[in-house]
Structure 1
Amino acid sequence: MKRKKILILGAALCAAALAAWSLRSKFSKPGRYGGRVIEVMQGSIEDAVEATGGVAPLNRVEIKPPIAGRIEKLLAEEGDAFRAGQTLAWMSSSDRAAILDAARAKGEEELKRWEDSYKPTPIIAPLSGVIILRNVVVGQTVAASEVLFAMSDNLIVVAQVDESEIGRIRPGMPARIILDAYPDWPVAGTVFDILHEGKNVSNVIQYGVKIRPVKVPSYFRSQMTANVGFIASKKEDALLVPSSAVRESASGGKQVMVPGPDGKPVAREVKTGIETSDRIEITEGLAPGDKVLLVGSRYVPQQAPQSSPLGFGGRRPGSSSEQQGARSRRRQ
């Protein structure tokens, strides 16, 4: 029984050693680089300053009633567009509301007589824009200080940019707007104003930057969260390599590793342009179709052919004919 267990254990160890030797022979090719080979590609790359913000009205106007009274008729709903001077609602003063209530108790003729002689008061749009808030219903009694509507002439995006990055932002700079609610629908915009007063947010000074969309989408809503990329520079058909393929040379410049004629990595000096978190533009030193080696990979030097760990094709290191003879004598 003991001899059977020893044989089973020995067979398992032999199988594991054979598998390890096979894998090593497969992946450690003599004279080959042990890392990934990446082809230089052409594409677009941009240097962008990222910030977050939200959709906001450029000019927000709150509309209050001219007098205290009761709302008789509403003509505006949220999202409706109005021109300056158009009527948003009709209301009765407190006196007119009391008279009409008394006349209504006397009959339709009395009510109509007072409605014709005592006209309601209109609530007028002060500017051309869109209703973004309706805070009243028909029949509601309102005070003269109560906000009935809010209007906006245009919806823009205001992004908060850190003090360390604000120097890279300038009016006229293109921007890319992506709303959290619509992540697959980017909107093009342009910077038109940088606020002069900063805000301290968690001990970081931030400045508001206003972006005007080229075309305001219908799904824009005030207070929506927006992610903005301010495009500082952009290049089409640039030569691009992964960031991990570029390292600093001994002279302080930049270099990449390329496969040599014998498969060994060779350093090549390059000049770089726009850099992002995962890609780098190569302006000199490489051409389309060239191949580079990733920096993090390890070069496996050429080695002498290895024998099987089981002794096939040669003796196992450390074995001798005397040792083999001793094993034979023990088995006998």
Structure 2
Amino acid sequence: MSSRTKKILLLLLVVLLVAAAIYGWQQFKAPERSTHLPSATVTRGNLQEQVTATGTINPRNYVDVGAQISGQLLRLHVEVGDPVEAGQLLAEIDARVLEANVAASRAQLRAQAAQLRDRQAQLKLAQLHYQRQQNLRADEAVTEEALQQAEASYLSAAAQLDQLQAQIEQNQSSLAADEANLEYARILAPISGTVVSINARQGQTLNANQQAPVILQIADLSQMRVETRVSEADVSRLRVSMPAYFTTLGSQGQRWRGELLRIEPTPVIENNVVLYNAPFDVENRRNQLLPQMTAQVFFIVAETQDALLAPSAALQRLDRQRYQVTVLTPGGSQEVREVQVGVNNRIQAEILSGLQEGEILLLQTGSQQNRATQNTNRIPGMPRL
């Protein structure tokens, strides 16, 4: 082989080696660097900023039905789960003593009515006698003393009549109380609803002298109230009438919706955590919600539809109003842009300006996010640590 041929082969070998080195660098070095950069794509979708909490479901309207009189519970006409209408008979208490009291009061009133007629007759007689004595005294046929005695008899008869009428009124009030107690022996439903609990049993003796014993509870299950407890860190983000929804265990993703009624000012402290009650009402037309169910509640602070969305991890806060992101260009370079952010639920953020759908963003690592937070929260004029 000639020296010229050897030179050509050597040159070809050098060219092949350089080409292989360039190809290897493009295939291994550049992709390795790009694949190790955490990134995400700007997409389009819906977004909600929420406050989450847990709550307990109870009927909005319920009544504890108690006994106003003492006695033995003779009969219960309902069971737990029975629907009832207002005015329906629920239970009966032994009323034999009450019936006897009513009968005695009525008999006493009849006797006093007879006494009243007798007193009225005596008053009329005393009045006539007094008038005759006045006429006779005018003719000086009787003494002044006789006239005075007739007047005293007339006034005494009138006073006795007034006294008897007062006793009759008193006994009529006692009769009304006895009749009311007799009515209380029949316990009626105060509202329409469902019997949710029964606390007494047939044959049990009820004592209403110290406090009214609760026999059963009726609740209107068509309207339920969700008693939600929100932490003090999130309660400032709530506002009255803001929309809310919740799910229950086993609801298979079904949502019930309502509006926040109020934020109750008295907190509840559980395990050194301050919680505030934030209730709202929901419809329960199909009776799927039952008392004491646990609800996972979501208060909607803000929401947007069909918006550009970027991961919150791609945002770097410049101050309380401005953010910036790092965009990975198709050529592999990095471009820093300032963006305007709308709704932000700390996982995704709405991009109002500065990005387009499909662009790739560089995600910040944990250390970068910590540094950004420190720089944002540091006091102006103080050196960086």
> Is this a same-fold pair by TM over 0.5?
yes
The answer as to whether partners of 2:60 and 2:281 remain within 8 angstroms in 1 is: no
- Amino acid in structure 1 at the alignment position of 2:356: A
Q: Distance in 1 between matches of 2:26 and 2:52?
A: 48
Quick one: structure 1 residues 186 and 47, their matched pair in 2 at CA, closer, same or farther if it must change by over 3 Å? same
Any idea what the Cα deviations from partners look like across 1:48-86, whole Å, max 9, x if unmatched? 111222112334421112333333433333333333222
Quick one: structure 1 residues 121 and 209, their matched pair in 2 at CA, closer, same or farther if it must change by over 3 Å? same
Q: Distance in 2 between matches of 1:53 and 1:213?
A: 13
Within the alignment, does 1:53 sit opposite 2:55 as a pair? yes
Q: Distance in 1 between matches of 2:243 and 2:206?
A: 45
Q: CA deviation at 1:38?
A: 2.8
Q: Distance in 2 between matches of 1:61 and 1:252?
A: 52
Map 1:84-123 onto structure 2 (within 5 A): 84-93=86-95, 95=97, 121-123=185-187
Q: CA deviation at 1:250?
A: 9.4
Which residue number corresponds to residue 311 of structure 2? Answer: 242
- Amino acid in structure 1 at the alignment position of 2:217: A
Structure 1, unmatched stretches of 5+, are 1-22, 97-117, 298-332
Quick one: structure 1 residues 195 and 250, their matched pair in 2 at CA, closer, same or farther if it must change by over 3 Å? closer
Q: Distance in 2 between matches of 1:138 and 1:91?
A: 9
TM-score (norm 1): 0.66
Q: For 2:217, which of 150, 164, 173 is the aligned residue?
A: 150
Query: 3-state DSSP class of the match of 2:260?
Result: strand
Q: CA deviation at 1:134?
A: 1.4
Which residue number corresponds to residue 28 of structure 1? Answer: 29
Q: For 2:278, which of 179, 195, 209 is the aligned residue?
A: 209
Which residue number corresponds to residue 43 of structure 2? Answer: 41
Q: Distance in 2 between matches of 1:196 and 1:251?
A: 29
Q: Distance in 2 between matches of 1:50 and 1:217?
A: 26
Any idea what the Cα deviations from partners look like across 1:167-213, whole Å, max 9, x if unmatched? 32222111111223536322112112322322333444322111101
Q: CA deviation at 1:31?
A: 9.1
Which residue number corresponds to residue 241 of structure 2? Answer: 172
Map 1:260-279 onto structure 2 (within 5 A): 260-279=329-348
Quick one: structure 1 residues 151 and 185, their matched pair in 2 at CA, closer, same or farther if it must change by over 3 Å? same
Q: Distance in 2 between matches of 1:175 and 1:204?
A: 23
Higher helix share: 2
Q: Distance in 1 between matches of 2:62 and 2:318?
A: 56
Any idea what the Cα deviations from partners look like across 1:71-111, whole Å, max 9, x if unmatched? 34333333333332222223334759xxxxxxxxxxxxxxx
Q: Distance in 2 between matches of 1:71 and 1:268?
A: 79
The answer as to whether partners of 2:83 and 2:194 remain within 8 angstroms in 1 is: yes
Which residue number corresponds to residue 7 of structure 1? Answer: none
Q: Percent identity?
A: 31
How big is the alpha-carbon RMSD for the aligned residues of Structure 1 and Structure 2? 3.4
Q: Distance in 1 between matches of 2:320 and 2:49?
A: 26
Quick one: structure 1 residues 254 and 202, their matched pair in 2 at CA, closer, same or farther if it must change by over 3 Å? same
Query: 3-state DSSP class of the match of 2:34?
Result: coil
- Amino acid in structure 2 at the alignment position of 1:262: G
Which residue number corresponds to residue 297 of structure 2? Answer: 228
The answer as to whether partners of 1:257 and 1:295 remain within 8 angstroms in 2 is: no
Tell me the number of residue pairs that the alignment of Structure 1 and Structure 2 aligns.
255
The answer as to whether partners of 1:190 and 1:214 remain within 8 angstroms in 2 is: no
Quick one: structure 1 residues 126 and 25, their matched pair in 2 at CA, closer, same or farther if it must change by over 3 Å? same
Q: CA deviation at 1:46?
A: 0.9
Which residue number corresponds to residue 71 of structure 1? Answer: 73
Which residue number corresponds to residue 129 of structure 1? Answer: 193
Q: Distance in 2 between matches of 1:213 and 1:124?
A: 28
Within the alignment, does 1:196 sit opposite 2:197 as a pair? no
- Amino acid in structure 2 at the alignment position of 1:33: S
TM-score (norm 2): 0.57
Map 1:295-310 onto structure 2 (within 5 A): 295-296=364-365
Which residue number corresponds to residue 313 of structure 1? Answer: none
Structure 2, unmatched stretches of 5+, are 1-23, 99-181, 367-385
Which residue number corresponds to residue 294 of structure 1? Answer: 363
The answer as to whether partners of 1:43 and 1:240 remain within 8 angstroms in 2 is: yes
The answer as to whether partners of 2:69 and 2:184 remain within 8 angstroms in 1 is: no
Q: CA deviation at 1:36?
A: 4.5
Q: Distance in 2 between matches of 1:279 and 1:94?
A: 73
Q: CA deviation at 1:163?
A: 2.9
Query: 3-state DSSP class of the match of 1:33?
Result: helix
Higher strand share: 1
Q: Distance in 2 between matches of 1:250 and 1:188?
A: 36
Q: CA deviation at 1:142?
A: 3.3
Any idea what the Cα deviations from partners look like across 1:196-242, whole Å, max 9, x if unmatched? 32233344432211110144551322222222111111111111112
| Structure of higher CA gyration radius | 2
